[in-house]
Amino acid sequence: MQTDSNTKTDLTFEDFKSQVINDYKIAVTSRECSLLGRREVLTGKAKFGIFGDGKEIPQLAWAKVFKNGDFRSGYYRDQTFMMAIGELTIEQFFAGLYGTTDINLEPMSAGRQMGGHYGTHSLDENSDWKNLTKQKNSSADISPTAGQMPRLLGLAQASKIYRNVEGIDTTNFSNKGNEIAWGTIGNASTSEGLFFETINAAGVLQVPMVINVWDDEYGISVHAKHQTTKENISEILKGFQRDEEQNGYEILRVNGWDYPALIETYQKAEYIARNEHVPVMIHVQELTQPQGHSTSGSHERYKSKERLEWEAEFDCIAQMKIWMISNNIANQEELDAIDKSIKKEVVVGKKAAWNNYLNPIKSEQQDAINILTELAESSSNQVFINKILNDLKEIAEPIRKDMASAVRKALRYVVSEESVAKNNAQHWVNTYMLSVQPKYSSHLHSASKHAAIHIDEVLPTYDNDAEDVDGRLIIRDNFDAIFNNYPEALVFGEDAGNIGDVNQGLEGLQEKYGELRIADAGIREATILGQGIGMAMRGLRPIAEIQYLDYILYALQIMSDDLATLQYRTKGRQKAPLIVRTRGHRLEGIWHSGSQLGGVINLIRGIHVLVPRNMTKAAGFYNTLLESDEPALIIECLNGYRLKEKMPNNIGEFKTPVGVVETVKEGTDITLVSYGSTLRIVEQTARELLEVGIDAEIIDVQSLLPFDLKHDIVKSVAKTNRLMVIDEDVPGGASAYILNEILNTQNAFQHLDSQPKTLAAQPHRPAYGTDGDYFSKPSAEDIFEAVYEVMHEANPSDYPKLR
């Protein structure tokens, strides 16, 4: 079922009547899904429910003006809209509620997100782009309140880029930049900083973005008087209203129960945004929430009797009924018949979805029963296995945990036995886990041929008389090659445009490539990330610059909840190959000191984290990633821009491999592992250690996520039999992660003759000044003494105690 987008005024009355009745059917279908969905949660068939009841009619009006190529960035109340554009069926609604893992049955997330989170497929089964201009698009939802807003900005900015930048192949992505990015947010979530940051940025950028604010006066149980100044978001944003002299927003207000006014309002908003490329906010007021916030509680606990009575009267579907009857579109009897028919249709769809979910699991249950029956008959512990077997048989509606748990527990009772049945049970469990685990764990990264780990290294090459230059010139010239070779590439960030970034790595490029491709941005890290995510989702290749690594913390929620999970939560049907550029390491002082990696690497799994030691390595990473389809964070060494490096003669062509370490010095006595600026101190110290007879092997990690895919570090440890990880992060930070990878993933412990060591910074930010750095982070003397102490413990006669 889908809305008819033909909203022209020259329709016959019969055509108009047919459209209205169709809209009513969609609204009632959505409402019945919400009501029945809540009951499914309360009966235990579904885990949790959050629904779009009360927002049906404005979403119908919105769907009428949503065109092919447009994008939605919404939150978990937009089910009616998705039904109205033909992207959500009754069966799919309930499949999402049950957590069905078959992406053909549950196309939104294959059961990885709870129901209410919607998205369309931008990629085919081979991870190649579909033609986004031929379909209605929804970026995959996330739950964190207002988290959808930064991405919305980028989705809208892509239209501006496609409209104004020449040379980009727009075939699958845009029709002359005519697409609108539509966002939705609840009134309470407009209190979030991400909302205000996005609103401001869109007003500055003047992009075709329409934000729908669904206002039902509450945020869970908290009334608007505790949420918003004047209890009215459009009232306090009046200063953003555009006028004849200044750019800004078009701000519209409409009541959410007024069907004809909603249609008129959305037609106006669409015209302004699509034709004038002006952001619009539609404040949809006087909405209701018939079932409260979610299945976790009842709204009768916090709403007054008067409010509940008002909500019953001004329920948008109830008001639409009144309007339809008064305008002779349908009578009460006809509407009652429609209601009754749709109730049956929703029940049928619900049952079909439940059977589709349950039947494969029931089949797996029978397989497990057969395995346990055979195992019990052959075991001396039959009585105990039969207890597990009978318990499994009694489960009428099993989940996969039941089978896996039952057979795994039963194997404990035959651990000392030998039988064909035991072998069959072991094989069944191993096979079952291998087949089931990917349903819940695949696609953290790209599964396509374009994955970064598939891109081979290309070494930099040099002329015989290659000049020693500042590292910044290598990164600058490489960016020049990138923007020349990739018309769809662009970079933006604080000071990135006019002055060519604070370290001159983009020097002169804005003049050459224009202000849209080499762009300055305000001090607003979260929406810089959001710009990148949204544009990458629409086929562009953005590089979002965060001036210093510390500032990543402002954008960490967006990176963690949105960008890092995108491929996972869509099971590979959406991607955003965004490159996040920043700089850090060894800066003196509490701020911009680059010591957050222990947190970063554990919060953004799904994004590659790359830590090149110099600008040639960094440039190679950019070249690699632009051939891939994955997001990454590249941390350039802040103190490396003025250090001399040889200028390669294959700028723009050499590639640094992702997930591969480099041995920068071979040795026999101990393996020293580090990265970034600290690696240079390790290299200096290794030369000093040679003076006392200690020959250290030095390995540059280069890539924290993924980490040493070839397991080269364990090969080094097998040779030296000793290991030290040196890092400028706090104790237990990145050094602990690295040590865990080497010991537990690569099993290096079996080769060690000495205790593995980590040498990290002090458990605080570094103090100001050179002395602050020396006494806060590992120094050359710290490294020397730590390595010497390891050798002293192993051979005190050759290495007497130093101090």
E strand or H helix at 50: none
Counting every residue written for the chain, the total comes to 803
pLDDT at 89: 98
Helix spans in 70-147 (H): 79-84, 90-98
Q: Give, in degrees to the nearest 5, the angle at Cα 23 between 84 and 36.
A: 70
Query: Phi and psi (nearest 5°) for 524?
Result: -160, 75
pLDDT at 742: 98
Active-site pick, 450, 592, 711, 792 = 592
**pLDDT tens string 322-346:** 999 999 999 999 999 999 999 999 9
pLDDT at 292: 82
pLDDT at 594: 66
Nearest CA among 333, 395, 346 for reference residue 368 = 395
What SS3 string covers 743-784? HHHCCHHHHCCCCCEEECCCCCCCCCHHHHHHHHCCCHHHHH
CA–CA dist 293, 223 (Å, integer) = 12
Nearest CA among 511, 282, 331, 114 for reference residue 323 = 331
pLDDT at 782: 98
pLDDT at 5: 56
Parallel/antiparallel/unpaired status of strands 644-646 and 608-610: unpaired
Assess contact for 73 and 189: CB atoms under 8 A.
Answer: no
Q: Which letter does DSSP use for residue 123 in this model?
A: B
Q: What is the mean pLDDT of the chain?
A: 95
CA–CA dist 489, 581 (Å, integer) = 13
pLDDT at 606: 98
The answer to whether residue 592 is catalytic is yes
pLDDT at 595: 76
pLDDT at 297: 75
The position carrying tokens 């000044």 is 769
CA–CA dist 648, 128 (Å, integer) = 33
**pLDDT tens string 282-323:** 999 999 998 888 877 788 888 899 999 999 999 999 999 999
The predicted model scores a pTM of 0.96
| Segment-wise mean pLDDT, segments of 10 residues, the chain, 803 residues | 61 90 98 94 88 96 98 95 98 97 97 95 96 98 96 98 97 97 96 97 97 93 91 95 94 98 98 97 95 82 91 96 96 97 98 97 98 97 97 97 98 97 98 97 96 97 97 98 98 96 96 97 97 98 96 96 98 98 86 84 97 98 98 95 97 98 98 96 98 97 98 98 96 96 97 97 91 93 98 95 91
In sequence order, which residues have a C-beta less than 8 Å from that of residue 169 and are 6 or more positions away? 487, 488
pLDDT at 681: 96
E strand or H helix at 181: strand 181-186
